[in-house]
C-alpha cells in the first residue's frame, strides 16, 4: 500500500525535481557501467591490475553517492515547490 503511494507521489513531482532525479539515475548507471568494464579489464583480480581494480571500486562507491545526492536534491526541490503552492 505504501509503495503505491510512493510511486504516485514520485510520478507527480515537479519537472525540475523529476529532471534531477532522472539525470542522477542515468549518471549513476553510466558510472556503474564504467566500473563494471574496468573490473572486466582488470580480470577481477587485484594482483594483476591493481590500479584498474581500485579505480573500479572507487567508481562503484561514487555511483552510490551520486544517486543519494541526486535523490536528496530532488526531494528538496520538490518540497520547496509544494510549499510555494
Instruction: Render pLDDT for 18-37 as a digit per residue (tens, 0 to 9).
Output: 899 999 999 999 999 999 99
Q: Is pTM, for the whole model, over 0.85?
A: no
Rg, Å, the chain Cα set: 17
Q: According to the model, what pLDDT value does residue 40 have?
A: 85
pLDDT band at 83 (very low <50, low <70, confident <90, very high): confident
Residue 74: which region, alpha, beta or left (left: phi > 0; alpha: psi -120 to 50)?
alpha
Grid cell 519537472 is found at 15
Helices (H), 1-85: 2-11, 15-42, 50-84
Amino acid at each position: 500500500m505504501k509503495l503505491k503511494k510512493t510511486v504516485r507521489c514520485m510520478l507527480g513531482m515537479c519537472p525540475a525535481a523529476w529532471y534531477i532525479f532522472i539525470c542522477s539515475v542515468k549518471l549513476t548507471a553510466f558510472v556503474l557501467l564504467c566500473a563494471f568494464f574496468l573490473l572486466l579489464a582488470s580480470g577481477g583480480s587485484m594482483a594483476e591490475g591493481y590500479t584498474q581494480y581500485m579505480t573500479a571500486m572507487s567508481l562503484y562507491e561514487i555511483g552510490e553517492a551520486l544517486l543519494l545526492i541526486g535523490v536528496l536534491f530532488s526531494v528538496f526541490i520538490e518540497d520547496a515547490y509544494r510549499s510555494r503552492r
